[in-house]
Amino acid sequence: MTFMQPKVRLGSKTMTQEQLQEHKRHNSKRYNLSVRDKYDKDYTKFYQSKEWRKTRSIVLTKHMHMCKQCIADGLAVNRSKRLIVHHVIELKDDWEKRLDVNNLEVLCGVCHNKLHKRKY
């Protein structure tokens, strides 16, 4: 008796976990080349740094993994599962505040997109 690896559906495709991970790596690499690296390598390098990951983790823990706006709106849960550590004063406006925990807040994906007026 052989063990069958579970399959995952992605759109109209069915893949194994390994194929899915490879697909994610390929898309991430493609996105980095076409978007991140194209516009500003400093931002990409910063968001991939140990310092940013550590600071992000501290901020998420400090705010108990809860979206600031969802709490302000009286919701007991975040509007979306994806949490973003948002720079109140953006990096392009003040690079020196990039790791300042007082300049960072936790937002869920929905609230972050509303803040930046994005529709995804």
Considering the domain architecture, whether residues 29 and 79 belong to the same structural domain is answered as no
Statement to judge: residues 37 and 63 lie in one domain: no
Please enumerate, as own/partner, the contacts of 95-101 that have beta carbons within 8 Å and a separation of 24 or more.
Answer: 98/46, 98/52, 99/51, 99/52, 99/55, 101/55, 101/58, 101/59, 101/62
Instruction: Spell out the alpha helix ranges (H) of the chain.
Output: 17-31, 37-39, 41-47, 50-62, 68-72, 109-115
Residue 5 lies in a domain: no
Q: How many domains does the chain have?
A: 2
Q: Is residue 9 part of a domain?
A: no
Question: Does one domain contain both 81 and 101?
Answer: yes
The 10s digit of each residue's pLDDT in 38-77 is 667 788 889 889 999 999 999 999 999 999 999 999 998 8
**Between these two residues, 25 and 94, which has the higher pLDDT value?**
94
Looking at per-residue confidence, does 41 or 84 come out higher? 84
On whether both 64 and 117 belong to a single domain, the answer is: yes
Residue 1 lies in a domain: no
Q: Which residues pair with 107 in a beta bridge?
A: 84
φ, ψ (nearest 5 deg) of residue 62: -55, -40
* Alpha carbon distance 53, 49 (integer Å): 6
Q: Does residue 61 belong to any structural domain of this protein?
A: yes
Is the pLDDT assigned to residue 17 strictly greater than 60?
A: yes
> Domain limits at 31?
15-48
Residues 62 and 28 in one domain: no
Based on the fold, state whether residues 78 and 102 are members of the same structural domain.
yes
44 and 67 both lie in a single domain: no
- Threshold 0.75, pTM exceeds: no
